[in-house]
Amino acid sequence: MKPLLFLTSLLVCSLAYAETVVEVIPSTTTLDGSDVRGIHLTASAAGSKRYRANHLEPMFAGTIINCVIIDIKEEDGFVYVPGVKMAEQAKAYARDIPDLEAWLAELKRRNIYTIARLVAFKDNKAPRHFPKLGVRKTDGTLWEDRKKMTWLDPYNQQAWEYDFAVAAQAAKLGFDEIQFDYIRFPTDGDLKSMRFIKPYSSDAAAQALSFFLHKAAAILHPLGAKVSIDVFGLTTSVDSGMGIGQKMTMMAKEVDYVCPMTYPSHYAKGEYGIAVPNDQPYKVISYAMRDAIRALGPASVHKLRPYLQDFSLKGRGIRYGAKEVRDQIQAAADAGIMSWSLWNARASYTVEALRNPVVPRAATPAPAASSGTVSAVSSVEVSSPSK
């Protein structure tokens, strides 16, 4: 795209989304996105008054948690913010959080930083209603991954507009930040039969994702929302794109925060020289953050906000409890990173690990750089460990 044409299209896109916002709710939180300690919430948990009373209130009152990451668009394609025309046309809107706007306003008043998690390209709703937006097969029908889920074509800028519409609506409702997950190309299924609107290449894929984020920031920043991304844990150590377009250093230039999903259970045996990474949570986070800082540079440490593991995967090694969760938080702190998020697909968290602040200490000496080994475990579906 020619520079003038690029700038013109970006300006028009930004203005279009700005015009859809009647009233932007200003943030009253004093927190910066680089100083948050968050937990992921499913839409059903976020919308449950019982969950809020029994789980969130005790955490806000008695732990170091000061941030919630709420699903607003999931991999199945359901959208949990109202007022998005395309979502309604695709029958994707679900009213799981009926008081979302009022609750966000209350969280702001209580100085809780709010993040909207938006699954970008894995989407089992929109492509079935708008087939031209989806990844296709060689015969022209919709391509499906191993779980029979469709995907939006990451090259297709018309598909981007759908995600931007959802993101803009979330910003309008009052979220402090929009976090794009599945900001990548597919990893599983019959990959040879995939067809996009343009031929796939590693460089083109990385450029497309970076341009998507550039346009997203141009739309969301004027609405008062910051932009973050979830990336595979190994992108901190391997900057090849990993066959899915995720070149962390390239993407980081376009966003406010980068959230590597550094779940120890999702690293291959032998990665970082560790026989069973799941059994060594401190070391895994320490080495991953070391590589991330090297890749982004010390001046970009404030952009790093790793996802840490607060769940156990059967057959992967030890079960996770307060010590394992705390070890990961400590490892991040020892690397100079005080901002992080915990992931649990059922929104069930280990409160005992979160009662007291973590004090940074001298980090354990790290081994040589990662081998870069990518296994089926470490490279597939890492953003949702329950699947």
- CA-closest candidate to residue 124, choices 155, 79, 85: 79
What's the one-letter identity of residue 365? P
Q: What is the DSSP letter of 232?
A: E
Cβ-Cβ contacts under 8 Å for 378 (sequence gap 6 or more): 232, 233, 234, 266, 267, 268, 271
Contact 215, 164 (CB under 8 A): yes
Q: What is 106-174 written as a DSSP string?
A: HHHHTT-EEEEEEE-SB-SSHHHHSGGGB-B-TTSSBP--TTS--BB-TT-HHHHHHHHHHHHHHHHHT
**To 10 degrees, the CA torsion angle through 289, 293, 298, 303?**
-70
Residue for token digits 């590597």? 260
Nearest-5° angle of CA 263, CA 268, CA 269? 115
> Does residue 85 sit in helix, strand or coil?
helix
One digit per residue, the tens of pLDDT, for the chain of length 387 reads 433 343 334 444 443 454 344 355 555 678 888 899 999 999 999 999 999 999 999 999 999 999 999 999 999 999 999 999 999 999 999 999 999 999 999 999 999 999 999 999 999 999 999 999 999 999 999 999 999 999 999 999 999 999 999 999 999 999 999 999 999 999 999 999 999 999 999 999 999 999 999 999 999 999 999 999 999 999 999 989 999 999 999 999 999 999 999 999 999 999 999 999 999 999 999 999 999 999 999 999 999 999 999 999 998 899 999 999 999 999 999 999 999 999 999 999 999 999 999 999 975 555 544 444 444 333 333 334 333
Q: How far apart are the two ends of the chain, measured CA to CA in Å? A: 39
| Residue 371 to residue 308: CA distance in whole angstroms | 21
User: Distance between CA 118 and CA 100 in Å, rounded?
Assistant: 15
Q: Do 255 and 217 meet the contact criterion of CB atoms below 8 Å apart?
A: yes
Q: Which two tokens stand for residue 149?
A: 């889920």
* pLDDT value of residue 7: 38
pLDDT of amino acid 34: 85
- Determine the Cα–Cα distance for residues 174 and 21; give it in Å rounded to an integer: 11
Residues in Cβ contact with 158 at an 8 Å cutoff, skipping those fewer than 6 apart: 132, 133
| Nearest alpha-carbon partner for 55 in 323, 385, 354 | 354
Residues 308, 59: Cα–Cα separation, whole Å:
17
Domains of the chain with CATH codes: 3-379 (3.20.20.80)
> Tokens 């296994």 identify what position?
375
Residue 51 CB neighbour total at 10 angstroms: 17
Strand partners, 179: 117, 228
Residue 374: the pLDDT is 42
Rounded to an integer, what distance in angstroms lies between the CA atom of residue 56 and that of residue 59?
Answer: 5
Strand partners, 70: 41, 116
CA–CA separation, 336 and 351 (whole Å): 23
Q: Name the residue among 256, 243, 126, 244 with its Cα closest to residue 180.
A: 256
